[in-house]
Structure 1
């Protein structure tokens, strides 16, 4: 390549001789590794389209160098990504995925992952690459686990692309849930992966977290009916009113529900069913128990648990019971609160809020949870850490407990939660987050005051009725 320049390299791409095509692509790949000017020059010379046309070459070496050049061309260069899309590069790339060449697959999946980082390209990639990535790469790889080092690289790139696509919108989430073999393959990888620091594992957990986002609202009506059973309206005619978020209090309903849960657990899940299956709670627990797992993996596992326990539905309550009673995850979750990372605390406190809502034994949960939650609260609403969203979650969890448990209210007072809640309510910066936190704290205080037997204790600590009620919030 000595003495070559970029116009010559691009011209070589247009030659019929494979040796010259390789030489031109190799020069472009080399020059574009570090130089953004070289990347822009290739685009100006219409080299992107010439490289895309080489994707269809019968010569494997030409394909390798052409895709390698494109990989470097689009790295941190939005204009070249757009040029690749305009040249029909995505379809040309996915057409090569079925070739039995791991090096080529690694480069192609790396390019697709890079493209998927751009929000404005995710929709197009979902349409043009998702099914091929799943059928030609993901499913075949996960059918022959464990993987070789080079296969791991391909899986890492593929799962990274899926991770980006799963975050785009409801339409893409639905498409991915329905994609034959996609969820099954990710679960297989999570089940067999014994390296806690594996990046493919991290990506897989993040995809599972993203696909469980707003899960119950987005499920097909037939599936939702199977999980939720009778509607609230019909259920209320047959059972006691649902109070304090306890579900189906009568023995007959409990027996029917337990039989349904048993049938769901014993039945082998398929496809998207894994997202809400109780066995996934066990897998997420293993991740949380492994201190060698990355913080991102733990965050994803907690986020998935938060998603599948969210809302007032019956199945969210069922899975909350699995978390608390079957897997006994509460101590592990409370230990994870020992962090100042907002990205970790948001899903964690959200999950604890869900568990507090669905717990059928509020007194027991309160004994374990109240002290630690109160400790995480800031002294007032002006503190920046933890963030307002975390404060709202903590207050929400406390409120679910306090509403149904005088012991919870007593413990909030005993562990000096009153000054903090009053501080959050009265001292804030009038921002949207600050006002939400103030309202959440005010709700907890209002419900704490419902227990007249605790009024004397409140008074001894120096608090009066006005501290617990505030019509302006």
Structure 2
């Protein structure tokens, strides 16, 4: 290894290429060799080789750096690439190269580097526009039929994978920068829609695309210019409620409670951030949930829905209505059967936010409440609920019980009260959040006077 690292400095291109190729294979899935290469200063020489005008030298160096940066256990190697100015070098070569092979290898390396939190800001500043353009170009090619139904280039998966990691940053500016790129958001929506049309629900490209869309949908009420709240192309409709599985009736003869919802026209030509809350986008999301089997994709789509319905602004009300109208609540209910806790937690959180709409609250009580109760009672559980999942579930029940005596009666009749009182105690074996949520749920139920005797009997 030491000899190969020393040969990287050779003026003889054949020697340096052979040395890089040797190191590439030697460090593959071998953290010990990776640490040795880093300790011997090999990363600095490899970064310098990337800036070569010789394509073979570039490719051999980039491939070796990619292996060195692969995996969460190799953050030190990623940090070394960062310290040796590797990201500016990679960004410059990515912009100027005419080689599709060099371009593809660089983007693969960027995906590995994007898992390092310290590298995200520099990656955003130096590569976001180039990666967004790559994504846009491939979405246009796909839309024009230049790609076959199943052919998504590897570079698209790598580019979206990089932005998936960058958009998950805790730094608000990362989401803001991406939201300003209208062509990026529209490209991601286009790819999602094409994937639905082609019934490609489980591929890596659609997975990465919806993960980015989920992240960009986070905290919209606080982070997006409220000037969008008066966007054109929206109409106000009146909804009337009858409590029969949440159906919507427009019978003027009935004296039913009415509610206004802002409903956008179903327009796929809208550009930029506003397309995130279009009816057409929600329809594509629900199609993926109904047909998909990739749990990462499903979790991301459900996450996008619960992000979009978490806000108080009017578009959240629209989405809560559209999800109900498109039978989305029954789709979410069925997803609770997945043997995946991340999916379950995302579904419960989405139901929580959807239940902020009184019509949805009734419907969830009618068709999904029994399944939520079964999970708390441990009936038909495919996995043991962690504190995070259990807390999310109990919080959803709090929303469903609030000002809805029908749901409260169902909960009490299920026999769950003794179980809740156990969870509400400090010696329950659960964390503080679960204990607090359980007490909040019992307090919510206490507001119904006819239920108090049952709660007392359960010794709360």
The unaligned stretches of length 5 or more in structure 1 are 230-250
TM-score computed with the length of structure 2 as normaliser: 0.82
Assess, with a 3 A threshold, how the Cα gap between structure 1 residues 13 and 333 changes in structure 2: closer, same or farther.
same
Distance 1:390 1:85, change over 3 A: closer
Q: Counterpart in 2 of 1:172?
A: 174
1:75-114 equivalences in 2 (<5 Å)? 75-76=70-71, 77-98=74-95, 99-114=97-112
Residue matched to 1:272 = 273
Instruction: Give matches, 1:195-206, under 5 Å.
Output: 195-206=200-211
Once residues 411 and 386 of structure 1 are traced to their aligned partners in structure 2, the CA distance between those partners, rounded to angstroms, is 22
Q: Is the 8 A contact 1:196 1:290 kept in 2?
A: yes
Within a 5 Å distance, the mapping from 1:8-47 to structure 2 comes to 9-47=4-42
CA drift of 1:324 comes to 0.5
Q: Give every structure 1 segment of 4 or more consecutive aligned residues whose post-TM-superposition deviation is greater than 4 Å.
A: 146-151, 224-227, 254-258, 467-470
Q: 1:464: how far off?
A: 4.2
Distance 1:330 1:29, change over 3 A: same
Q: Is the 8 A contact 1:206 1:297 kept in 2?
A: yes
Match of 1:51 in 2: 46
- The answer (yes or no) to whether the contact 2:390–2:434 under 8 Å persists in 1 is no
Note if contact 2:268-2:280 (Cα within 8 Å) is conserved in structure 1. Answer: no
Relative to structure 1, is the Cα distance of residues 31 and 225 closer, same or farther in structure 2, using a 3 angstrom cutoff? same
Residue range with higher mean Cα deviation, 159-168 or 19-28: 19-28
Deviation at 1:100, TM superposition (A): 4.1
For residues 344-389 of structure 1, the C-alpha deviation after alignment (integer angstroms, 9 at most, x for no partner) is 1211111111122113364444222322222222379xxx943344
How far residue 37 of structure 1 moved from its aligned partner, in angstroms, is 4.4
Q: Deviations over 1:106-163 (max 9, x none)?
A: 321111111111222222222222222222x222222211647886211111111111
Partner SS state of residue 144, structure 1:
helix
Rate the CA distance shift 1:287–1:465 in 2: closer, same or farther, 3 A.
closer
The answer for the alignment partner of 1:143 in structure 2 is 140
Residue aligned with 1:143, SS: helix
Deviation, 1:72, is: 2.1
Displacement of 1:339 in angstroms is 4.0
Any residues of structure 2 matched to 1:454-473 within 5 Å, and which? 455=450, 463-464=453-454, 466=456
Task: Please report how far the alpha carbon of residue 267 of structure 1 lies from its aligned counterpart in structure 2 after TM superposition.
Answer: 6.8
Unaligned runs of 5+ in 2: 235-251
CA distance in 2, matches of 1:403, 1:75: 48
Matched, 1:207 2:202: no
Please name the residue that 1:122 is paired with.
Answer: 120
Whether the aligned pair in 2 keeps the contact of 1:442 and 1:469 (CA below 8 Å) is: no
- Does the 8 Å contact 1:6/1:28 carry over to 2? no
Scaled by the length of structure 1, the TM-score of the pair is 0.80
Please list the CA deviations of residues 19-47 of structure 1 after superposition, one character each: whole Å capped at 9, or x if unmatched. 33322322222332244444344334433
> Residue 304 in 1 paired to residue 304 in 2?
yes
Q: Given that residues 211 and 300 in structure 2 are in contact (C-alpha distance below 8 angstroms), is that contact kept between their aligned partners in structure 1?
A: yes
Question: Following superposition of structure 1 onto structure 2, how do residues 146-295 of structure 1 map, counting pairs within 5 Å?
Answer: 147=147, 152-169=153-170, 170-193=172-195, 194=198, 195-224=200-229, 261-263=263-265, 265-266=266-267, 268-291=269-292, 293-295=293-295
Q: Which structure's CA Rg is the greater one?
A: 1
Distance 1:311 1:74, change over 3 A: closer
TM-fit CA distance, 1:256: 11
Return closer, same or farther for 1:350/1:78 CA change in 2, 3 Å cut-off: closer
1:68-116 CA-to-partner distances (Å, cap 9, x unmatched) read 1222233343332222112211121122324343332332111111111
Root-mean-square deviation (CA), in Å? 3.1
